[in-house]
């Protein structure tokens, strides 16, 4: 009879470990402006990060690509994971915009990092930036 409790315990332990391995936070959709990591510290110290990020140029993002990218959304900067960086690199090659690189990003937030599922270029107007 002692075999059943130990098998049950083993089964529960395996189930718990499996659920932890595949569990991740809920997906969120964030809107904001593309910002390379190198410029993000200066922008986030400003009085209005979104207004400052709107002026960030495609040229600067391309020059600072090696450091990675993120999203300025409201008063927060979300650093992209490698998939996000790869998607932005492709986007920079096809966009016709020279600044105000608005994005809608779907992913999972882990601390200050955004695990990116998808990125879509969008247009903002000044009233929707808050």
Provide the residue ranges of all domains of the chain, joining segments of one domain with +. Answer: 26-128
Q: What is the pTM of this model?
A: 0.78
Below-70 pLDDT ranges, the chain: 1-24, 125-130
CA angle 19, 22, 26 (to 5 degrees): 105
pLDDT digits (tens, 9 = 90+) for 35-49: 999 999 999 999 999
Is CATH 3.90.380 the classification given to domain 26-128?
no
What does the pLDDT read at residue 111? Answer: 85
CA 10 to chain centroid, in Å, comes to: 37
What does the pLDDT read at residue 21? Answer: 44
CB contact at 8 A, 118 and 88: no
């Amino acid at each position: 009879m002692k075999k059943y409790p130990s098998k049950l315990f083993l089964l529960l332990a395996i189930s718990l470990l499996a659920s932890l391995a595949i569990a991740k936070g809920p997906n969120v959709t964030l809107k904001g402006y593309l910002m390379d990591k190198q410029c993000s510290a200066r922008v986030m110290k400003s009085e209005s990060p979104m207004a400052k990020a709107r002026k960030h140029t495609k040229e600067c993002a391309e020059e600072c690509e090696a450091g990675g990218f993120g999203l300025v959304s409201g008063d927060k900067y979300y650093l992209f994971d490698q998939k996000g960086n790869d998607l932005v690199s492709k986007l920079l090659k096809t966009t016709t915009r020279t600044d105000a690189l608005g994005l809608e990003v779907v992913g999972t937030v882990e601390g200050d990092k955004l695990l990116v599922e998808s990125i879509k270029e969008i247009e903002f107007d000044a009233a929707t930036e808050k």
